Amino acid sequence: MPIYEYECQSCQKTTETRQSITEAPLTTCTRCGGELCKIISQSTFQLKGGGWYADGYASTGDNGKSCAAAGECASSSAPACSTACG
């Protein structure tokens, strides 16, 4: 089961919970009763090195290397907060 993070819009407390994909998202903070907003966090799953993705699907640059191998792609390590909650 995936772990989801929620942030309270009132007290800014961050909560983690294990939920099935089919379960409804949490809406109420257990600490203050405020509205919860789901946070989009960085995944721990990463494709690194060669293999089926880099060899068969990644875009190539002028020198024949994949974008990731050439260091041309930018990645952000900071989690992004969903702005759908307001």
Identify whether 74 is part of a domain.
no
As a whole number, mean pLDDT of residues 54-66 equals 57
Q: In whole angstroms, what is the distance from residue 17 CA to residue 63 CA?
A: 45
Q: Is the pLDDT of residue 49 over 90?
A: no
Total of domains in the chain: 1
Identify whether 5 is part of a domain.
yes
Identify whether 33 is part of a domain.
yes
As a whole number, mean pLDDT of residues 50-69 equals 58
Q: In whole angstroms, what is the distance from residue 35 CA to residue 39 CA?
A: 13
Identify whether 2 is part of a domain.
yes
Identify whether 64 is part of a domain.
no
- The domain in which residue 17 lies consists of 1-42
Decide: helix, strand or coil at residue 3: strand
3-state helix/strand/coil string of 20-81: CCCCCCCCECCCCCCEEEEEECCCCCCCCCCCHHHHHCCCECCCCCEHHHHCCCCCCCCCEE
The reported pTM is 0.50
Residue 59 is predicted with a pLDDT of 64
